[in-house]
C-alpha cells in the first residue's frame, strides 16, 4: 500500500548523506557502518557496537550525536555501577520537605553505554525499560524519556576478562549489532593527520536540529512497504527458525525491526518505498545477534551470520506489485 501522507522534507537524502559525510571525516574508512548507524537511529532503534578497545566506538557515537543536534551522555559501565546511577534518584529537599527526582544520564536523547557487558546483570536490566518503553520508573513513578531516545552501547568481545554476557532478551532489543574493526592503513594515516590539529569532534556542527531529526523519524515510519515485502521479511525470519545450525531463530520483534530499518534505508536512498535490496542489505545486521547457533555449528565454525546469509539466499525475492513513486 502506498502512503498518502505529506512530508516536511521534500528531499531528505542530501541531508542524511551530509550527516554520513560529516561523521566520515572523523571516523575514517567506515562509511558502511556509519550509514547503518544512521539507518538504525532514523527508525528509533538502538545499536550494539562490539569491538576491541581503541577503534573509535565512542568517537563514532559522539560524532553522530553532534551531527543530529542532540544532547549526548556517556555512561561508563563497571561492575560497581548501580541502576540508580543511570536512571536517577529521588532526593529529599529540606526546603520543601519533599522528594524531588534528580534525573540520571539515561534521560538524554543520545546515550552511550560504554562497555555494557562489564556491568552486572542487575544494572544491565535497568536499560530494558528505557530501550523498549522509552521511559524509566523510579520509586514507582514513570518518567518519559526525550524524543528521540537512542541508546548506543559498546561491548568487549566475550573472551575478555570481567565481562557478563548480555541475555538474549536484552540482545533482542538492539535493532542492530555492528563492528567497526581496524581501519586500513590509508584511513589510519588520515586519522593521525587529523588528530595532529585538535580534537576531531570540535569542528563538528549540527546538520539537523533535534526536532528535525524527530520529523525525519516520522517520515521514515511512513515509507511504504508492499505486502509482498512484508511476506518476504516473514519468510526470512521463518527460514532462520528452521535452520539446522540455529537453536534460536529470529523473533517477531526481529521481523518488525528489519521492516523499520528497511524503511529508513529507503528514505536514505531517496525513496518513499522499500525495495528488496533494502531488506537484503540489512538482514544480517538486524538478525544475526538475535540468533543462537547450535553447539555443533559453533564447533564447526559456522556463525549465526552465515545462517542469515543462507536464509537470504534461499528465500525467493518477491516481484513488487506497484510502480515506483516519483
Shared domain check, 181 and 40: yes
Q: Could you give the CA distance from residue 281 to residue 36 in angstroms, rounded to a whole number?
A: 10
Q: Pick the residue with more confidence: 266 or 52? A: 266
Shared domain check, 136 and 262: no
Q: Could you give the CA distance from residue 294 to residue 244 in angstroms, rounded to a whole number?
A: 8
C-alpha distance from residue 129 to each of 51, 165, 296 (Å): 25, 19, 35
Shared domain check, 121 and 84: yes
pLDDT digits (tens, 9 = 90+) for 222-244: 999 999 999 999 999 999 999 99
Q: Is residue 213 part of a domain?
A: no
Shared domain check, 275 and 149: no
User: Of 183, 208, 233, which closes a domain?
Assistant: 208
Shared domain check, 229 and 155: no
Q: Could you give the CA distance from residue 55 to residue 178 in angstroms, rounded to a whole number?
A: 13
Q: Is residue 4 part of a domain?
A: no
Domain extent at residue 302: 222-320
- The full length of the chain comes to 326
Q: Is residue 326 part of a domain?
A: no
Q: Are 152 and 111 a contacting pair, CB within 8 Å? A: yes
% of the chain with per-residue pLDDT over 90: 60
User: Of 208, 234, 267, which closes a domain?
Assistant: 208
Grid coordinates belonging to 105: 544520564
245: domain CATH number?
A: 1.10.8.80
Q: Is residue 301 part of a domain?
A: yes
Q: Are 163 and 156 a contacting pair, CB within 8 Å? A: yes
Mean pLDDT of 147-151: 94
Give the pairing type, strands 246-248 and 292-293: antiparallel
Shared domain check, 129 and 36: yes
Residue 4: the pLDDT is: 44
Rg of the Cα trace of the chain? Answer: 20
The DSSP letter of residue 167 is: P
Q: Is residue 325 part of a domain?
A: no
Grid coordinates belonging to 20: 554520513
The 3-state DSSP class for residue 77 equals coil
- Give the pLDDT band of residue 322 (cuts 50, 70, 90): low
Shared domain check, 189 and 43: yes
Task: Indicate if the alpha-carbon torsion angle 173, 176, 179, 180 is positive or negative.
Answer: negative
Mean pLDDT of 146-168: 81
Mean pLDDT of 300-323: 86
Q: Pick the residue with more confidence: 9 or 6? A: 9
Residue 66: the pLDDT is: 93
Q: Is residue 215 part of a domain?
A: no
187: domain CATH number?
A: 3.40.50.300
Closest CA to 308 of 229, 261, 227, 254: 254
Residue 158: the pLDDT is: 60
pLDDT digits (tens, 9 = 90+) for 79-129: 899 999 999 988 888 888 888 889 999 999 999 999 998 888 888 888 888
User: How many folded domains does the chain comprise?
Assistant: 2
pLDDT digits (tens, 9 = 90+) for 20-78: 999 998 888 899 999 999 999 999 999 999 888 888 888 899 999 999 999 999 999 99
Task: Indicate the average pLDDT of the chain.
Answer: 88
- Give the pLDDT band of residue 132 (cuts 50, 70, 90): confident
Q: Could you give the CA distance from residue 231 to residue 191 in angstroms, rounded to a whole number?
A: 44
Mean pLDDT of 291-315: 91
Shared domain check, 204 and 59: yes
Q: Are 73 and 112 a contacting pair, CB within 8 Å? A: yes
User: Of 143, 177, 208, which closes a domain?
Assistant: 208
Shared domain check, 227 and 110: no
Shared domain check, 88 and 162: yes
Q: Is residue 141 part of a domain?
A: yes
Shared domain check, 159 and 272: no
- Give the pLDDT band of residue 146 (cuts 50, 70, 90): very high
- Give the pLDDT band of residue 325 (cuts 50, 70, 90): very low
Q: Is residue 216 part of a domain?
A: no
135-146 exposure pattern, b = at least 16 Cβ within 10 A, e = fewer: ebebeeeebebe
Shared domain check, 231 and 194: no
Residue 164: the pLDDT is: 79
Provide CB contacts within 8 A for 46, sequence distance 6+. Answer: 40, 131, 150, 151, 152, 153, 173, 174, 175
Amino acid at each position: 500500500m502506498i502512503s498518502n501522507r505529506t512530508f516536511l522534507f521534500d528531499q531528505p537524502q542530501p541531508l542524511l548523506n551530509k550527516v554520513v559525510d560529516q561523521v566520515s571525516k572523523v571516523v575514517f574508512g567506515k562509511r558502511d557502518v556509519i550509514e547503518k548507524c544512521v539507518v538504525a537511529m532514523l527508525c528509533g532503534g538502538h545499536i550494539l557496537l562490539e569491538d576491541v578497545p581503541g577503534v573509535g566506538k565512542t568517537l563514532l557515537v559522539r560524532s553522530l550525536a553532534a551531527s543530529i543536534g542532540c544532547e549526548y551522555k556517556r555512561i561508563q559501565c563497571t561492575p560497581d555501577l548501580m541502576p540508580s546511577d543511570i536512571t536517577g534518584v529521588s532526593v529529599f529537599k529540606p526546603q520543601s520537605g519533599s522528594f524531588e527526582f534528580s534525573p540520571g544520564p539515561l534521560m538524554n536523547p543520545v546515550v552511550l553505554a560504554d562497555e555494557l557487558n562489564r556491568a552486572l546483570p542487575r544494572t544491565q536490566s535497568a536499560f530494558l525499560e528505557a530501550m523498549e518503553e522509552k521511559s524509566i520508573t523510579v520509586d514507582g513513578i514513570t518518567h518519559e524519556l526525550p524524543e528521540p531516545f537512542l541508546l548506543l552501547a559498546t561491548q568487549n568481545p566475550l573472551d575478555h576478562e570481567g565481562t557478563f554476557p548480555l541475555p538474549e532478551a536484552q540482545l533482542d532489543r538492539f535493532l542492530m549489532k555492528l563492528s567497526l574493526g581496524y581501519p586500513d592503513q590509508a584511513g589510519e594515516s588520515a586519522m593521525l593527520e587529523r588528530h595532529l590539529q585538535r580534537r576531531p569532534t570540535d569542528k563538528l556542527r549540527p546538520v539537523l536540529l533535534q526536532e528535525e531529526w524527530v520529523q525525519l523519524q516520522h517520515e521514515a515510519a511512513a515509507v511504504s512497504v508492499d505486502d509482498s515485502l512484508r511476506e518476504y521479511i516473514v519468510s526470512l525470519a521463518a527460514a532462520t527458525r528452521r535452520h539446522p545450525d540455529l537453536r534460536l531463530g529470529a523473533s517477531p520483534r526481529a521481523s518488525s525491526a528489519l521492516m523499520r530499518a528497511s524503511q529508513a534505508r529507503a528514505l536514505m536512498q531517496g525513496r518513499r518505498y522499500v525495495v528488496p535490496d533494502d531488506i537484503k542489505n540489512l538482514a544480517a545486521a538486524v538478525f544475526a545477534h538475535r540468533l543462537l547457533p547450535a553447539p555443533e555449528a559453533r564447533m564447526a565454525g559456522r556463525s549465526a551470520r552465515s545462517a542469515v546469509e543462507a536464509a537470504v539466499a534461499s528465500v525467493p525475492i518477491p516481484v513488487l506489485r506497484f510502480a515506483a513513486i516519483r
